[in-house]
Structure 1
Amino acid sequence: MEPVASRVAELSGREVTAEFPLGTSHAWELYRVEVEGGTSLFVKALARESAEFGSAGPFRAEALGLDWLGRSFGSPVPEVVGWDSHTLVTSWIEQTEPGPEAAEQLGHQLAAMHTAGADAFGASWNGYIGPLPLDNTQSASWPRFYAEQRLEPYLRRAADRGALTPADCRIVEKVMDAVEVLAGTPEPPARIHGDLWNGNVLWHEGGATIVDPAAHGGHREADLAMLSLFGLPHLDRVRDAYNHAAPLASGWRTRIALHQLHPLLVHVCLFGAAYRTTAMEAARTALHGPQ
């Protein structure tokens, strides 16, 4: 496989003058590179050819998702400079400490992005969440989409690797059976990030940028629920600003655990039984409310 600098030069059309490794994430290596003129870019690169991903892998899904999210007015996503099956190049975000005004701005931007809408629940491209495939087959029903394409695949994967017990699986299956009732008032498909945890929010002088999406038409409460899953600075400011711009449906707080169950099952699949307790607490809370 070509060196990273050669790949970036080909995709960006600019000569790379410096390369700075930033570590690894899942199956890819991360870099900041400088190109002619002094501009910095962010790079994800597979270290070697991967038959696991092929030409329709996670970089394609991320690039298409960023482009789609970016079509909504003021969407806080980075620019896609170029991509291929083993490299993704985006604009570089110089990070700063978060502040309350940036948090309010992010709330308004998320509301605008969500209300830009989607044709259906799902997407027209094959999805990924991290390195795991994400079934984006489009659907008109969010409850069935969520149960069959967001919960069941990761429940089965986690059970197959022994990270969840048969009793655990039965609890999640009860959530899947009851999701029509638990989902609340039906809403149209929203244009969501799909993996919006704290680490995917980069704060900078101009506000905030959201990165690494698993973008698709989904339920807008999902992004807000995930922001609270691992904590976000000034989260109340984000939610208050969002709620002012696009008021959430009654009972949204009672559905936070329901929306958190999908990413928690993904974490069980990726990291094992360390997330089992949190995932099962979310499943029980989704069914019965806080205990």
Structure 2
Amino acid sequence: NAALEEARVILANDNATQEEVDASFARLSVAMHMLEFLKGDKTELQDLVDSTAELVEGNYTEESWTALQEALTNANTVLNNENAMQEEVDGAYDNLQAAINGLEEAEVVDKSLLEAMVNKVLGLEEDKYIPSTWQAMLPELEAAQEVLGNEKATQAEVDEACDALTRAYLNLRLKPNKDLLADLINKANGLNSASYTANTWAVVENEVIKAKAVLEDLEASEAEVKAAEKALTKALEGLVAKPGNTVDTSTPVKAGDTASIKTGDNGLTGIFAGLTMLSLAGLSLLRRKED
């Protein structure tokens, strides 16, 4: 419009120079040529941009989502450009459509089993387990918690962490109950060594030393505790009293206690034998009287 107005003024001016006429002609020619560049129709491009509003980043891979954002940025630049031509609009549309088509759905990672395993282990009481097995489990628990909190963790990583923590959990060993072993040791310590033969007492002393070592060993297994209980019980049962001595009963045997001591006491044996003989004699007299 500006070039056309200028041309009209010069055309009506009889005093216009040839130079002014040529310049106005050139300006108007260029302006007319520019009118061949039609303004692009952005309707479809705008609709396509609007359609991406409902897309959720977390549903797609990082790489494909980044490509979409770049295409969206370019499309919005074209939409905001008043002088954008149809060719530019079409190019932005094609790039955005390609980015949408190229979106790759992210892997849906199931962490439910891992979460349940972590919660199970966190609910355990450390002092109930043998220290070495507990310490061996801690790195696996830490690794599992890290994977659980990692939003980009793959299913393979989750499964591996869950398997490792499960194995560590299964390898935990409860501390064995050592109450009976402690009772046996206390019972042995309460006996009077002078009342028993040297060789049988030496066996008890040796087993007491071993039993104490197991009692104080935080890493002792259930099998080791049971073996120590059995060995000390056998040693106590094998005690033999010296001739003329009665068994030391200063530490009474509890009902049902597997550590009840076999006396081996000659005095008590004689008493039991005498009672038996008296009973037999009485029975014999009774039979004769009846006859």
Length-normalised TM-score, structure 2:
0.20
Length-normalised TM-score, structure 1:
0.20
Higher relative contact order (CA 8 A, sep 6+): 1
Q: Report the structure, 1 or 2, having the larger helix content.
A: 2
Q: Report the structure, 1 or 2, having the larger strand content.
A: 1
